[in-house]
Chains A and B, each alone.
Chain A
């Protein structure tokens, strides 16, 4: 077992740990937007780490696993951005302890008035 293979196994284990923590955050967080944050950041990093580690363990597959990792790094933030935008426009508001903490609302109302 070479050095590169050991590094690949360590990266796989770190990635799977991040995947598990992201799933735990999705289970525990209080509202949609914080759930979306854990689901995007840590799950993207965990998936990238797992796939890249497999590429290091099995060197013939390195380039294709690199392609998958780069594609996930591009596509996952785009989809979660579209989800957050869609759920805000649908009318779901963020969970806040104080009232009137939603700074996005006047901006959205202003832009909708300009469109009309």
Chain B
């Protein structure tokens, strides 16, 4: 069950990576990056359920916090205030 769900997540990541490689403007690429980090957070929690390890939940929490800070910094850089 979890394996099929992870395959669907991998297909979604493929579409997002295509947009990130192709995207005409820098904003497209940053939106794709934000999307990939959200999908990875969900995938980490699902992997924790698959392997039955609690540590994956902590990793997903820290990953979410760091990706939030990274995307905010990139958006500030786009605006020209950094």
Contact = CB atoms under 8 A, between A and B. Distances in A.
Pair from one complex? yes
Interface of A: 9, 12-13, 15-16, 19-20, 22-24, 26-27, 32, 35-36, 39, 43-44, 46-47, 50-51, 54, 57-58, 61, 64-65, 67-68, 71-72, 75-76, 78-80, 82-83, 85-87, 89-90, 92
Query: Interface on chain A toward B: helix, strand, loop, or mixed SS?
Result: helix
Interface residues of B, number: 45
Interface of B: 1, 5, 8-9, 11-13, 15-16, 18-19, 25-28, 30-32, 34-35, 38-39, 41-42, 45-46, 48-49, 54, 57-58, 60-61, 64-65, 68, 71-72, 74-80
A79 B72 contact: yes
A16 B72 contact: no
